[in-house]
Amino acid sequence: MMRIPFHAAITGIGMVTPAGLTTDETWDSVLAGRPTAAADPALAGLPVELSCRAAEFDGDTVLGRRTAWRLDRCTQLALAAGWAAVADAGLDPGDWDGTRVGTILGTAFGGIGTWEREHRKLLELGAERISSLTVPMSLTNMMAGRLATDVKAGGPSFVTSSACASGATAIGTARELLRSGACDIVLAGGAESSLVHSVVAAFDRAGALSHYKDGPSKASRPFDTGRDGFVIAEASAVLVLERPEHAQARGARAYAYVSGYGASADAGHETRPDPEGLGAERAVCAALQDADSSPADVTHVNAHGTSTPLNDVAEGRMIRRVLGSHPVTSSVKGVTGHSLGAAGAVEAAITALSLKHQTVPMTAGLTHQDPAVDLDIVAGTSRPVTMETALSNSFGFGGQNAVLVLTRP
């Protein structure tokens, strides 16, 4: 069924990542290809002690201690990015009709850091030592609820959870709210802070993490022949999406438009991607159809590119089959690591910046491209590219696929 194209304007971006505490810092690090993987003292004693942590982020400093102490770090990251996005968009929550503003965020694990800490207290100190704030701090939906409270957004507010596609799913869902007329503005994105022993140990047992045999700087190397898994990360990114006429009426500039969204399920294995990327292909085709675009229109693909042996080949085959060899492809996870439920939001933000600056970031860590991935992958240095249309791919455990089409204003 044909749908009338709809272009949601991205008028604000806020980011907190291992590559920087602001959008500008993150963009500069991604362009320079500076890896952020490092030994993490909090993971000492595990078989994998490496992470990409936003080490310079301090919730007390950014949010104020009176606010931060009541929030899990995941929610702290979400609020920091959300506030930054609203400011970047030139919006004042005191002036808007909050009933027309939504908050849709994605995450995989939510407040699991609080849950693990309080569970340890239960085992070691007894039930009476559990914090009375454990439930609100650990609830997955709290990041969207707290952001809505802070910015007086009384429209739809909820969390999407589709594993590592969560952030992209949130942005696609937000666009649908704008398209339907339910909202004029939606704060959309994702946050994740699950650098805790239980999560890291579980991912390692699943065979998903890099054992960085060539050192931390080479641990995350998407599409490289030497890749052996991803580096787990924390991050947040929030986009201010607006109905185009709303943005135009207030004279707002747009970084880019979210012009298409497609989602699908592999309906296969719990953790392994379809080896030919057939489910991902359906999401790409749906997103292109939604945007009224063709494969020939796509100049750039911001790949999911996790640095795992299976994902990178499956995604590479799918891109080549559906789009051909012409799109300039890259993955930012060589710099940022894999922030799970936040990754799709971080990468959508980077894709919007790529369109704005007409530059495709390099794929850090890539020195020997896997011959099974027959694509034009940017390596060595970032590349100026004239582009109007780009894809941002996000795929997750459970066979969850979400693809966004972004276009230049």
DSSP conformation class of 133: T
Q: Which residues contact residue 295 at a Cβ distance below 8 angstroms, ignoring those fewer than 6 apart?
A: 288, 322, 323, 324
Can you tell me the distance from the alpha carbon of 278 to that of 76, in angstroms, rounded to the nearest whole number?
37
| Amino acid sitting at position 384 | P
269 is catalytic: no
Can you tell me the distance from the alpha carbon of 244 to that of 265, in angstroms, rounded to the nearest whole number?
30
Count Cβ atoms below 10 Å from residue 357 Cβ, excluding itself.
Answer: 15
| Amino acid sitting at position 60 | D
CB 401 within 8 A of CB 278: no
Q: Among candidates 130, 114, 111, which has minimal Cα distance to 122? A: 130
Can you tell me the distance from the alpha carbon of 153 to that of 216, in angstroms, rounded to the nearest whole number?
41
Can you tell me the distance from the alpha carbon of 396 to that of 27, in angstroms, rounded to the nearest whole number?
24
Let me know the angle formed at the C-alpha of 274 by 273 and 278, rounded to the nearest 5 degrees.
125
119 is catalytic: no
Can you tell me the distance from the alpha carbon of 304 to that of 302, in angstroms, rounded to the nearest whole number?
7
Tokens 């495709």 sit at which residue? 360
DSSP string spanning 232-273? BB-EEEEEEEE-HHHHHHTT---SEEEEEEEEEE--S-SSSP
Can you tell me the distance from the alpha carbon of 77 to that of 17, in angstroms, rounded to the nearest whole number?
9
**Among residues 164, 183, 246, 300, which one is catalytic?**
164
CA atoms within 13 A on the CB side of 275: 1
DSSP string spanning 318-377? HHHHHH-S-SEEE-THHHH-B-GGGHHHHHHHHHHHHHHHTEEPP-TT-SSB-TT--SEE
338 is catalytic: yes
Can you tell me the distance from the alpha carbon of 299 to that of 280, in angstroms, rounded to the nearest whole number?
18
Q: Which residues are catalytic?
A: 164, 304, 338
